[in-house]
Amino acid sequence: MADKSKEKKTVVIDWVPDKNSKVPMYKQIVNYISSKISSGDWTIGSILPPQRELAKIFGVNRSTVVAALEELESFGILKGETGKGTTVISNTWSLLFSSTTPDWGRYIHLGIFKENVPTIQAINKMEFEKGIIRLGTGELSPEFYPAKMVNDIFMKLSRSITSLNYLEPLGLLELREILCLRLKEKGIQCKPSNILITSGSLQALQLISVCMLKQGSLVYCEAPSYIKSLQVFQSMGMKLLGVNMDSEGIQYWNIGTERKYGEDALLYTIPSFHNPTGIVMSAARRKELFKFCSDNRLPIIEDDAYGDIWIDEEPPRPLKSMDENGMIIYLGTISKVLAPGLRIGWLVGSEAVVERLGDVKMQVDYGASSVSQWILKEILLNNYFDQYLDEVRRALKSRRNLMIEALEKYFSDLAVWNVPKGGFYIWLKLKKEIAMEKLFHLALKEGMLLNPGSIYDFKKNNALRLSYSYIYEKDIMSSIHKLSRIVGLLTKEKQQQSK
């Protein structure tokens, strides 16, 4: 006969988080579960209800429950298994929550680096949930992965690499030499000493933020802008200021009305296939912008992450191609065209700037991955790479056209949008104001993860960043259809409320 004392039991929950509390709801759930375990009410082997049921009991979104459970799993208190639910496996770490131990929460919030806004935190977690259709993700689908090319490169590397020691401060010389040749095709004249290899272009922004600007400096950028979704400059005490755009790019003349004489400032811009709007800055606007910034001594960070992902026609040459005095720091990356997992980007600037940033990088991580740099060197040398880029452009064009077709079919009465000439993004602006946070959560319940426009903008907006780069083609039409139904319902709901 089985020993009933050893049978696992589902816990009883008779509590809900306080929605009026300043403590985030996921943190309240963490504290509640921890207290039940540390008090002995929930013993080792106890089973928690499924995530959806927990969300219903607590009156929160499933993403909130997921965040709480993941934190408790990281402490080693819980263990989640597919098909078996979540089980209490330890009470050892409950000591963390006793009054005699340090208040780690206080220490966490003492740091200078600001946390992501809740929507971005939810996106970062939910992107990796099984079954989620990522309608806003800024990377290529795994379908694009050039397996044969990469396999050939790995085979070659296994025979040619003799050491994986640290590389020199600016990065692998052979890689920087190849980048010089590729940048020359864009009109950018530089030497290897002008290039710093970074752990992704995001690290380049972080390096700039910690050592090139003082607190209180202004960072101008397009409104909306990718940089607004990050905390990298704000964490260093700098202020972001959005500048409106039109169909040709940033309206640079508005900078003059905002900037005070002698004020420390710089401009961050994405001229080619802008993130999130997809706009391409015209050649004329680029010349005007460069002259304005030169005349006003306004340094520029030019982010060219999407410049090679053109669909209909190549964009105009980068701003950096006009720069003879080192006033522009140019950022590039392999993340968008091939391999975000390599975590390799590059920064092009004057030798003095590159040396300074290289010194700081050595303090941060002692150089980007040696393996990744050797891999990228071989990728850029591979005869198939440019053919691969052409194949990616054709595939993205097909996906873009299909998404535009779906929008024309299901969103013609609900929204307006751009037709991008490259990059990944369609900037969808809803015609009627709706509860965008509610849209985000309702779409999530339907298995669709959205990127709301508000995370990129400086003011409330009614927009979405849609991406055709990651979603499978077979899911585009049905996903846009489902999304339109949710938007339609919320539009009607808003109209009824206003009556």
Q: In the chain, where are the structural domains located?
A: 4-111, 129-138+390-498, 147-382
Stretch 118-124: mean pLDDT, rounded?
86
CB 345 within 8 A of CB 204: yes
Task: Tell whether the model's pLDDT for residue 2 goes beyond 50.
Answer: no
Q: What percent of the chain has pLDDT over 70?
A: 93
Task: Tell whether the model's pLDDT for residue 368 goes beyond 80.
Answer: yes
**What pLDDT is stored for residue 100 in this prediction?**
46
Residue 321 CA to residue 298 CA, distance in Å, equals: 17
Q: CA 211, 215, 218: angle at the middle one, nearest 5?
A: 95
Task: Tell whether the model's pLDDT for residue 115 goes beyond 80.
Answer: no
Stretch 150-170: mean pLDDT, rounded?
88
User: What region, left, alpha or beta, does residue 485 occupy, with left being phi > 0 and alpha being psi -120 to 50 degrees?
Assistant: alpha
218-223 and 265-269 strand pairing: parallel
CB 426 within 8 A of CB 414: no
**What pLDDT is stored for residue 38 in this prediction?**
76
**Which residues on adjacent β-strands are paired with residue 348?**
195, 330
Q: What percent of the chain has pLDDT over 90?
A: 65
Stretch 273-292: mean pLDDT, rounded?
97
Stretch 104-119: mean pLDDT, rounded?
70
Tell me which CATH code domain 147-382 carries: 3.40.640.10
Residue 126 CA to residue 385 CA, distance in Å, equals: 32
E strands in 8-68:
47-48
What number of other Cβ atoms are within 10 A of residue 413's Cβ?
Answer: 10
CB 276 within 8 A of CB 456: yes
Query: Which residue type occupies 97?
Result: F
The pLDDT confidence band at residue 98, using thresholds 50, 70 and 90, is very low
Q: Which two tokens stand for residue 180?
A: 């010089």
The pLDDT confidence band at residue 326, using thresholds 50, 70 and 90, is very high
- Name the CATH superfamily for 129-138+390-498: Aspartate Aminotransferase, domain 1 (3.90.1150.10)
Whether omega for the bond prior to residue 276 falls within 30 degrees of 0, making it cis, is yes
The pLDDT confidence band at residue 335, using thresholds 50, 70 and 90, is very high
Q: How does pLDDT run across 383-395, given as a tens digit for each residue?
A: 889 999 999 999 9
Q: What is the dihedral of CA 412, 413, 418, 420, to 10 degrees?
A: -30
The pLDDT confidence band at residue 113, using thresholds 50, 70 and 90, is confident
Tell me which CATH code domain 4-111 carries: 1.10.10.10
Q: How many residues in the chain?
A: 499
Q: Which two tokens stand for residue 243?
A: 């500048």
Query: Which residue type occupies 64?
Result: T
Residue 82 CA to residue 129 CA, distance in Å, equals: 12
The pLDDT confidence band at residue 105, using thresholds 50, 70 and 90, is low
| Spatial strand order in the sheet of 300-303 | 195-198, 345-348, 328-333, 300-303, 265-269, 218-223, 239-246, 249-250
Q: How does pLDDT run across 58-75, given as a tens digit for each residue?
A: 999 999 999 999 888 887
The per-residue b/e assignment along 272-303, b for 16 or more CB within 10 angstroms, e otherwise, is bbbbbbbbbbbeebbebbbeebbeeebbbbbb
Residue 235 CA to residue 303 CA, distance in Å, equals: 20
Q: Give the DSSP H or E segment for 409.
A: helix 384-410
